[in-house]
Amino acid sequence: MSEQPVLEVEDLTMHYTTRAGTVRAVDGVSFSVARGQALGLVGESGCGKSSIALTLLKLLPENARIVGGKVLIDGTDIVPLSEEELRAYRWDRISMVFQAAMNSLNPVYRVGEQIIEALELHVASAREESLERVRQLYDLVGLDPGFISRYPHEYSGGMKQRAIIAMALACEPDLIIADEPTTALDVIVQDRILREMRNIQAALAMSMIYISHDMAVIAEVSDVVGIMYAGKIVEMGGTTEVFKHPIHPYTRALMSAFPSVTGERHELMMLAGEPPNLLDPPPGCRFHPRCPYATDECRTEEPPTVRRGEHWATCWNPPEA
Binding residues for Mg ion (CB under 5 A): 49-50
**What is the contact mask toward ligand ADP in residues 30 to 69, using x (rule: CB under 6 A)?**
-------------x-xxxxxxx---------x-x------
What is the 3-class SS of the chain, one letter each residue? CCCCCCEEEEEEEEEEEECCEEEEEEEEEEEEECCCCEEEEECCCCCCHHHHHHHHCCCCCCCEEEEEEEEEECCEECCCCCHHHHCCCECCCEEEECCCHHHHCCCCCCHHHHHHHHHHHHCCCCHHHHHHHHHHHHHHHCCCHHHCCCCHHHCCHHHHHHHHHHHHHCCCCCEEEEECCCCCCCHHHHHHHHHHHHHHHHHHCCEEEEEECCHHHHHHHCCEEEEEECCEEEEEEEHHHHHHCCCCHHHHHHHHHCHHHCCCCCCCCCCCCCCCCCCCCCCCCCCHHHCCCCCHHHHHCCCCEEEECCEEEECCCCCCC
Number of residues lying near ligand ADP (CB under 6 A): 15
Q: Does residue 25 touch ligand ADP according to CB under 6 A?
A: yes
One of 131, 225, 278, 315 touching ligand ADP (CB under 6 A): 278
x/- binding map, residues 190-229, to ligand SF4, per CB under 6 A? ----------------------------------------
User: Does the protein bind ligand SF4 through residue 25 (CB under 6 A)?
Assistant: no
User: Is there binding between residue 232 and ligand ADP (CB under 6 A)?
Assistant: no
Contact pattern for ligand ADP over residues 63 through 92, marking x by CB under 6 A: x-----------------------------
Binding partner at 291 among ligand ADP, Mg ion, ligand SF4, none, C-beta below 5 to 8 Å by kind? ligand SF4
Under rule CB under 6 A, residue 14 binds ligand ADP: no
CB closer to Mg ion out of 145 and 275: 275
Binding site partner of 288, from ligand SF4, Mg ion, ligand ADP, none, Cβ cut-off 5-8 A by kind: ligand SF4
Of 133 and 213, CB closest to ligand ADP: 213
**Is there binding between residue 315 and ligand SF4 (CB under 6 A)?**
yes
- Residue 256 interface partner, choices Mg ion, ligand ADP, ligand SF4, none, CB cut-off 5-8 Å depending on type: none
